[in-house]
Structure 1
Amino acid sequence: MDKIKYRMVIQWSEEDNSFLVALPDFLGQYWRTHGETYEEAVINGKEAIESLIMAYQADDEPLPEPLLANLV
């Protein structure tokens, strides 16, 4: 799982007073998690990616292709 690379977009939200985390390689809801600090948002984003990967695997669904792979 460590070798799979997915994009994580972290953006400050004045409205929510927190950092919002988007995982654009996964279809569906754009904002997946958040954090009160940037560091917390990164940790929560990594956990969200791990949870999504486990859910895809449990459902025997293929993982989405990381878009970064297309840039190399």
Structure 2
Amino acid sequence: MKDYHINIFYSEDDEGYIADIPDLRFCSAFGETPIQALQELEIAKQIWLETARSQGKPIPQPTYRPVIAKC
């Protein structure tokens, strides 16, 4: 099963980590650590999906994004 691609990055402006799902417009979360941001994003994702379903809005399929390794 494919799942949504997740970005996690440090934001100096917010002094913490931001996690987002590009396929789900405006679905993002904040955390003091990368793990906390990811945990909060899982909650945000469920709410995003439930809201879209309840409003009859389309739910985008996950898109493939290749992993780019940095050495």
Match of 1:36 in 2: 32
- TM value normalised by structure 2: 0.78
1:2-41 deviation line (CA, Å, top 9, x unaligned): x5611111101122110011210013x3x72110011100
Counterpart-to-counterpart distance in 2, 1:51 and 1:4: 19
Q: Which runs of 4+ in 1 moved over 6 A?
A: none
Counterpart-to-counterpart distance in 2, 1:4 and 1:52: 18
Give the root-mean-square deviation of aligned CA atoms.
2.0
User: Is 1:55 the equivalent of 2:37?
Assistant: no
Match of 1:11 in 2: 9
- Structure with the bigger percentage of helix: 1
Counterpart-to-counterpart distance in 2, 1:7 and 1:55: 20
Q: Which runs of 5+ in 1 are unaligned?
A: none
- TM value normalised by structure 1: 0.77
